Chain A
Amino acid sequence: MRTLRYLRERYVRELPTLFCPGCGNGIILNSFIRAIDQLGIPQDRLLCVSGIGCSAWIPSPYFKGDTLHTTHGRALAFATGAKVYRQDLVTVIFTGDGDGAGIGGNHLIHAARRNIDMTTILVNNMNYGMTGGQLAPTTPYGGPTDTSPYGNPEHPFDLVELVSAAGASYVARWTTYHAVELTRSIMEGIQHKGFSFIEVLSQCPTNQRHIFRIRAPIEELPTRILEMFAESTYIRGRPARTDYFYILPNIPAEEAIKEVNEALGGLEARARLVDHISYGRLIRVDSEEVDRARGILEGLKVTERVLGPLEGKVELGVFVKRERPEFTESLMNIIKRAQGC
């Protein structure tokens, strides 16, 4: 394990960053740097391309290597030109949900379709952070933002499904809570020959308070959101625990938990407050006697609904890993064919 000091001196151009306190971008920069360090790729063989938005600033200026900071949504198209002409450059694109899936959505599906050998890290904070927290194509349905003050009337993209269907040959999703898995995935993505897409759900303490309905002082938000990422995600292929469930109360969860605790009485059970990405503040009940606990709480006056362990959660992991002819190789074959050899 490298020391932070080694990583900073070697790979980071300058510190401190201009990111808001508690922003997820630092975690992602950290994961990226650890990934290239562990792969042993010389930083002068790397090209980082980004668009516009907070995500774009992860490499530019903080990564100490070649960075191409382009126009809004177009990073993948710029990167395509550079990669085709300099195929030896390990090309990594940093984009956001607005940049990559909103204004740049067309380039995203076409880069995936071409299966060009690049790795795209899409930082999804479910809003346009740099411009003040507007509605994004990834904002949850109903979620209030600056430009959806009465709730989001649109449905969000599932970017993993979108990019998989478009033809990407490596597709993964993680959150900033899963920094170790993310680092491993960036390594895999870079090593994979083809278009690799890694979505990272990231915290934006400045703008996510309303989207996630978290009522807390701002300094508590980063940890609250990270814990929420842990609580409301599950990892593909790992056996799911079944010894817990959630109570969605019809009064504020902070008040309802008293009645839940009373009702659970002598049972082997523990109730606590958690944040859930789809339902906001909930009561989580862990119990050795889960069916009995559930039976008791279902009839409780404060219970609006009982939710199963995976309900409304986000699936993480590696979704696609497949072989398809890669674009730059195909172009080289075309040159051979045209030259008659």
Chain B
Amino acid sequence: MLSPGRHLVLGNVACGEGAIRAGCRFFAGYPITPANEISQYMASELPKVGGFFLQMEDEIASIAAVIGASWAGAKAMTATSGPGFSLMQENIGYAYMTETPCVIVDVQRSGPSTGQPTMPSQQDVYQARYGAHGDYEAIALSPWSVQEMFDLTVRAFNLAERFRVPVLLMADGAIAHIKERLIVPEKVEVLERRRPEGPECTPFGTEDPSGVPEMPLLGEGYRLLITGSSHRPTGRRDDSPRYMRMKVERINEKIRRARREITDIAAHHLEDADLAVVSYGASARPSYSAVKRARSMGIRVGLLRLRTLWPFPEEEVSAISEEVRAILVVEMNIGKMVREVERAARGRAQVVSLPKVGGVLHTSDEILEAIRRLRQ
């Protein structure tokens, strides 16, 4: 493990370190570029703190083992990239349905399919929201630096425990493989799992239709029925429309109602802006640089950086759409989150997409050029 203080490390290493500091004691994964350094770090560091590293036979087994370990009491994580993230979707859905806290890191690479394994993208952002079948609300975070790989991994674990959900850290191949400064704090804020105290518990329901139930663990005498099938608040399988509706509404509402607590943005130079750039993850870096250059040319432009992709920071984007004339959405895909921005802007500001595919980051020149065009 890294000592508190300054380090020069890879994004993937910062992610592993953040996980261990957040209390992760179980990791299961399958080799895939560009996520491998996370597994390697966990394989070397977890046993030192009494944790378990498992290399499973595939990504399906990896997320399955993570969910099993979580019910056994572990804070648990897996890390993968696009092809593996696709394979995991069914069991991620199981984690939503069974309200299992865990963390899934998707170090996004350029797709579809095998695509460009070593090159970054932000193409899985919709898969993070809609990848599993059925209705659920997702939490997905997007780090733009090595420091945020650490900070947001810690936050992912805390959110997972707070809401009893899988939390997705949507990193990308660029952030994962950048080496830059990481400050490991003396102490990180760690949220522990809320567990029932008495002999009775209702593992899958609360009186509040949008509440988060306390989570009992295996081996504590609760005689749990944990199932991905429709179930009553007790866990007993039950196909009736009433119970399925209660369940689906609650796993959606528990996140929707807490939207303000979850959503997180960073605003740069937006105070006096009449133009805004919306970006996230690695593509927010050239965006930031282009905004600063444009400012030096006298263009009043700011950057809104999404640290949570899901739930989408709708109110924040909506508020900005009232202040600015146009919004440029910079992302490493064919144009995805731009649709959410359009929806939130409701026509109050012009929304322009600046997509990029092919496995390379935007250059700040490209973004600056687009900002200048917005101005006209």
Which residues of A pack against B, CB within 8 Å? Answer: 13, 43-45, 47, 49, 60-61, 64-71, 74, 77-86, 88-89, 106-107, 110, 331, 334-335, 337-339
Contact = CB atoms under 8 A, between A and B. Distances in A.
B57 A110 contact: yes
A68 B71 contact: yes
B57 A69 contact: no
The B interface, classified by DSSP as helix, strand, loop or mixed, is mixed
Contacts of A49: 68
Contacts of B58: 106
Given A70-B94, A335-B47, A338-B47, A84 B64 contact: no
B229 A85 contact: no
Given A81-B64, A89-B219, A71 B225 contact: no
Contacts of A74: 60-61, 64, 91
A82 B47 contact: no
Nearest to B65: A81
B91 A69 contact: no
B56 A44 contact: no
Contacts of A337: 47
Interface residues of B, number: 45
Given A85-B26, A85-B69, A106 B227 contact: no
B111 to A, nearest CB: 23
Given A78-B68, A79-B68, A61 B228 contact: no
B11 to A, nearest CB: 24
Given A78-B64, A80-B64, 15 more contacts: A60-B227, A65-B223, A69-B225, A70-B67, A70-B94, A77-B60, A80-B68, A81-B26, A81-B72, A81-B76, A82-B69, A85-B76, A334-B47, A335-B50, A338-B47
A15 to B, nearest CB: 14
B239 to A, nearest CB: 11
Contacts of B76: 81, 85
Nearest to A49: B68
Contacts of A79: 68
Given A69-B228, A334-B47, A44 B219 contact: yes
B374 interface: no
- Closest 5 pairs (CB-CB, A-B): A81-B68, A81-B65, A338-B47, A77-B64, A77-B61
A66 B219 CA distance: 7
Contacts of A88: 219
B194 interface: no
A82 B72 contact: yes
Contact of B73 (A61, A65, A66, A86): A86
B32 interface: no
Contacts of A107: 57, 61
Nearest to A46: B219
B94 A45 contact: no
Interface in B87-132: 90-91, 94
Given A71-B228, A80-B54, A339-B48, A86 B221 contact: no
Contact of A82 (B218, B225, B236): B218
Nearest to B220: A44
A314 B35 CA distance: 47
Contact of B236 (A61, A83, A84): A61
A60 B224 CA distance: 10
Contact of B64 (A64, A70, A89): A70
B47 A81 contact: no
A84 B52 contact: yes
21 contacts: A61-B236, A64-B223, A66-B222, A67-B226, A68-B68, A69-B229, A70-B67, A74-B60, A77-B60, A77-B62, A81-B67, A81-B70, A82-B69, A82-B218, A84-B65, A85-B69, A89-B72, A89-B219, A110-B61, A338-B48, A339-B48
B41 to A, nearest CB: 13
A335 B26 CA distance: 12
B66 A81 contact: yes
B223 A66 contact: yes
A299 B65 CA distance: 61
A106 B219 CA distance: 27
B237 interface: yes
A107 B225 CA distance: 23
A89 B218 contact: yes
Contact of A71 (B57, B90, B224, B237): B90
Nearest to B46: A338
B224 to A, nearest CB: 5
Given A77-B60, A335-B47, A339-B47, A61 B54 contact: no
Interface in B179-228: 218-228
Contacts of B220: 44
B224 A67 contact: yes
Contacts of B73: 85-86
B74 interface: yes
A60 B228 CA distance: 11
Contacts of A13: 223
